Amino acid sequence: MIRENIWTMRENLLIGDKYKEASDFLSKLDSDWKNLIKKNGPCNIKISFRLEPYQSLIKSVIFQQLHPRAGNAIFNRFLILFNNKFPDAESILKTPPLRIKSCGLSQNKLSTIIEIASLRLNKTIPNTSKLNKISDSEIIRLLTTIKGIGEWTVQMLLIFHLGRIDILPQNDLAIRKNYRKFKKLDNLITPKEIIEISKKWKPYRSVASWYLWSID
């Protein structure tokens, strides 16, 4: 446990340094970025080091296509079902599916969560140390083979579990809506357009996305 805590502290410090570099880089792009970063302060993405990749996937599935408040409500009920601890794969598979669904999950989300737990038990889903050795694109290719897991869900894993700093969730509607507000544009931009625009944010597109999510 002590060794794990020391490793987590070290990883937090290293990622914190990267986020500081990213914030400094983005603030120099133009006055809009400078003001947004000044308003929100240094990037503070919360990395879920204590969750295994399959658990982070399950959490992202719960939050899919939901307002954060609704997602948090369902997620909290999910944790309460397992004594306020994130369950391991075996515990999920031993629990009657209808009890899990009663947290507020759709049938599709329930099926995906059970599938993820099953794949973890047979080691199809790698652990954190193995994923850390794999590129972003390879992880996306591997995990999107799971029914119910799309690119956005894996991108959330990359940003909030693995701490990858150059991920752009181009299909995330909130990012594109907030960029429209941020730059006072007349029309909502497309995923293809945000990919082109984001080239200026590289190699810190995860951090740029975090700041765009922060816009009210």
26 alpha carbon, distance to own chain's centre: 20
Q: Give the residue from 162, 155, 141, 149 showing the smallest Cα distance to 198.
A: 155
30 tagged catalytic: no
Q: Which sign, positive or negative, has the C-alpha torsion 37, 41, 42, 43?
A: negative
Phi, psi (deg, nearest 5) at residue 140: -60, -45
* 149-154 CB contacts, 8 Å cutoff, 24+ apart: 149/57, 149/61, 149/112, 149/116, 152/64, 153/57, 153/60, 153/61, 153/64, 154/57
74-79 own/partner pairs: CB under 8 Å, 24+ apart: 74/103, 74/104, 74/105, 77/102, 77/103, 77/104, 78/103, 78/105
| From 30, 136, 166, 172, active-site residue | 172
Cis peptide bond N-terminal to 68, omega within 30? no
51 CB-side CA count, 13 A: 20
Residues with catalytic roles: 172
